[in-house]
Amino acid sequence: MRTIRLWIASIVAACTLACTGDAQELVITNARILDGRGGVIERGAIVVRDGRIVSVAAGDSAVAGGERIDASGMTVMPGLVEGHRHLIPGGTDPAQWLATEAAPTMQQFIEAGFTTVFSAIDPTEQIIELRRRLAAGEVVGPRLLAAGLVMLSRAPLGGGAGDPARTDSSRGGQRQSQPEYAIPEADTRAAVQRLAAAGVDAIKTLLITTVGGTEQATLAIVVDEAKRNGLPTVTHAVTVRDTVAAVEAGVTMLVHTPHVDLLDEETARKIATAGIPMTSTLGVFVPYFNADNQPLFRDMQPFPWNTLPSAGNGPVNARLLWEAGITYAYGTDTSHAPRDSLAHELRPLSLVFSPRDLVRILTYNAAVAIGLGEETGSLEAGKLADIIIVDGDPLTDIYDVLDVEVVIKEGRIVVDKR
């Protein structure tokens, strides 16, 4: 827990220094308020001062002064949190993207209501520089956290979220390990240390266990060295077997719902009771249809139909884990525009979660998953004033979260479409 607290403190301190100097005093009135943790106020007010929430209460606020926002007919809720995103498209020049595409991309995120984004691997130099520009106010957008990748074997074995060649032990097709795949412990620790020195916020791993392989043992070394360097670990695991292995290794966050096979209730309880949050990424395996009605995969490539069973397994496993008590959070792992990714992820999520569940998944749970639950993700006195105002009522129609009218980040109005 000390590691997580230190991580949170460093992130918040950097953002606060840059952002609260010109924070506004705001009073939001006549609001339907969803606090992100299941609480609902049908008509209430929120007072914001010096970048933080002063009060959230039913009725009208008696506070004088400050800018007043009349939210009649609208809903006020915490800023959205994207818990698993890759910002710099593969195959592009990262430096060129930073120079020309970073600012408009971040503008898209903030206009869609995202006040925090977790980059679960992008080119290290460029993503850390973008994080600096955002924290300094040089680029308008969400607060950004960035993970760096440490490999668990020398040779890539496939098994990414959309790898059609991925095989799994429960189906008799687990890959055989080879001695040359193993990485010496000293090299693994050195890789973590290099990323820590570069300034990443977390260490990311891709776990694909093999028969007789050393991947889980190497992951445990990564976890240990990351803790020594004050960093959390986030792990890609897409099978039930690999998810259990990641839990046993003690990672901080799971960035995929297992979807290659179906969970049983006992295994769901084992995963959930470990207290490790998980992001959704269910939409990856649901076809995304373009304007020409062509089904596409997450990277705008033709949809791989042999992965379609995951579109059913993922939501079922998600609900089993939810019932077992896991902290389940929003994350997409797609390259679509932020608002499009949100609309797409809501499709499979809505199969097994209520609108009230989904509000929590999109806000508080996602903030908890990336280590910022004590500072953002819910509307509570003392927290950072990350707030969105949407047209409509997401508890009646969850897709109303797509209609963001106002975005407030750390007490400043950064988007106003009214």
Say which CATH superfamily domain 1-79+377-418 falls into: Urease, subunit C, domain 1 (2.30.40.10)
Burial (CB count <10 Å: 0-12, 13-18, 19+), residue 350: middle
Whole-model pTM over 0.75: yes
Phi, psi angle pair for 114, to nearest 5°: -90, 115
Greatest distance between any 2 Cα atoms in the chain: 70
- Chain centroid to Cα 30, Å, comes to 30
Q: Which helix (H) or strand (E) holds 322?
A: helix 309-324
Q: Which of the listed CATH numbers 1.10.645.10, 3.30.930.10, 3.40.50.720, 3.20.20.140 matches domain 80-376?
A: 3.20.20.140
Picking from 200, 180, 40, the residue whose alpha carbon sits closest to that of residue 125 is 200
The structure tokens 């260490």 sit at 203
Structure tokens given for 219? 């992951």
What's the pLDDT at 1? Answer: 38
Residue 236: helix, strand or coil by DSSP?
strand
For residue 211, which of 187, 256, 177, 161 has the smallest C-alpha distance?
177
Would you say the CATH fold of 80-376 matches that of 1-79+377-418? Answer: no
Alpha carbon distances (Å) from 276 to 7, 16, 78, 225, 256: 16, 28, 22, 18, 12
Residue type, 398: I
Tokens 């525009």 sit on residue? 337
What 3-state class would DSSP assign to 24? coil
Three-state DSSP at 38 gives coil
Would you call 401 helix, strand, or coil by DSSP?
A: helix
Amino acid 246: pLDDT: 98
Nearest Cα neighbor of 48 from 412, 405, 416, 376 is 412
Q: Write out the chain's pLDDT in tens, 418 residues.
A: 334 434 444 455 445 444 444 567 999 999 999 999 999 999 999 999 999 999 999 998 666 667 899 999 999 999 999 999 999 998 899 999 999 999 999 999 999 999 999 999 999 999 999 999 999 999 999 999 999 999 998 865 544 443 333 334 333 334 555 556 789 999 999 999 999 999 999 999 999 998 888 999 999 999 999 999 999 999 999 999 999 999 999 999 999 999 999 999 999 999 999 999 999 999 999 999 989 999 999 888 899 999 999 999 999 999 999 999 999 999 999 878 999 999 999 999 999 999 999 999 999 999 999 999 999 999 999 999 999 999 999 999 999 999 999 999 999 999 999 9
Domain ranges within the chain, ordered by starting residue: 1-79+377-418, 80-376
